[in-house]
Amino acid sequence: MIGILITGATGNVGGELIKIFSREAVGGAVAAVSNFAKDANRFPADIERREFDFTRPETFAAAMRGVDKVFLMRPPAISNVRRDIFPFLAYCRRANVKKIVLLSLLGAEKLWFTPHRKIELEILRLGLPYTFLRSSFFMQNLSTTHRDEIKNESEIFVPAGKGKTSFVDARDVAEVAFFSLFGAEHSNKAYQLTGNADLSYYEVAEILSRALGKHISYRDPSLASFIWRTWRSHRNLPFALVTAIIYTTARLGRAGLVTGDLGKILRRQPTSFQEFAKDYKECWL
């Protein structure tokens, strides 16, 4: 049986991809987890779990046993991809991996300085067969990173101004990843995955207010107060700075591109923000 290593198996897209393999009863999926002792009961019983850490090459061989396809995501905390991701790509080349489906970033082809573009270029240089999933901002950021402020303060606190974002549902991205792992037609392609609408955070707050039956307001803080508050709650300055840059991109009107790639691949409309809000309602109540 063909094995498929799913990195980021506890994360937004990897976690949803694991659920699809289990739901569709497609064998061969291997959940890569960086801490084997943790998360033992996190996955469905039919999903094999193996220890894997990009920064510990000694974990590669056992994790890759029998594997010939990889769903690859760059952990958000890894910024030095030459040091921390390239060794795994070289390993994939040596192991004759037949396909890498990479979770990338919308517009990565123009963003040469991003870790995502550097990984794309290394995959091309190594001649590994690929599909690049250049994804817009996930709706799930509102149910994870921003969950507490929505739940406890009834507000969204990001410095995006009136700028619009083409939010995409991570579940849709996982579905595209699933098809990309199998369909030959997706080989050596790059997709721009977005939702079906560009929304400002004022509109997002309105949609959430309706779904939750309580008023959620959008506060548009200054960059300085956003960075201060993010640093205070995460104690991680690079994280605070990177998220500030992401929201500034939205503020400047550079995050609103809506494409039809996702709908074409899935042969249906992308999940709307309204549907997402309904499905995740419980996490904010």
Ligand X SMILES: NC(=O)c1ccc[n+]([C@@H]2O[C@H](COP(=O)([O-])OP(=O)(O)OC[C@H]3O[C@@H](n4cnc5c(N)ncnc54)[C@H](OP(=O)(O)O)[C@@H]3O)[C@@H](O)[C@H]2O)c1
Chain contacts with ligand X (rule: CB under 6 A) = 7-14, 33-35, 52-55, 73-77, 103, 105, 135, 137-138, 141
- Nearer to ligand X among residue 137 and residue 280 (C-beta): 137
Q: How far is the CB of 139 from ligand X (least distance, A)?
A: 8
Sequence-separated (6 or more) residues with CB below 8 Å from residue 143: 280, 283, 284
Q: How far is the CB of 9 from ligand X (least distance, A)?
A: 6
Can you tell me whether residue 189 is helix, strand or coil? strand
User: Are the C-beta atoms of residues 193 and 263 closer than 8 Å to each other?
Assistant: no
- Nearer to ligand X among residue 215 and residue 234 (C-beta): 234
> Which is it for strands 164-165 and 199-200: parallel, antiparallel or unpaired?
antiparallel
CA dihedral 229, 232, 236, 238 (to 10 degrees): 30
Q: Burial, 37: exposed, middle or buried (Cβ in 10 Å; 0-12, 13-18, 19+)?
A: exposed
Place of tokens 């123009």: 110
How far apart, in whole angstroms, are the C-alpha atoms of residue 161 and residue 94?
47
Q: How far is the CB of 141 from ligand X (least distance, A)?
A: 5
- Nearer to ligand X among residue 88 and residue 218 (C-beta): 88
Sequence-separated (6 or more) residues with CB below 8 Å from residue 76: 239, 242
Residue nearest ligand X by beta-carbon distance: 11
Q: Which token pair is 197? A: 């609408």
Strand partners, 157: 219
- Nearer to ligand X among residue 141 and residue 154 (C-beta): 141
- Nearer to ligand X among residue 138 and residue 276 (C-beta): 138
- Nearer to ligand X among residue 105 and residue 211 (C-beta): 105
Strand partners, 102: 72, 132
Q: How far is the CB of 42 from ligand X (least distance, A)?
A: 9
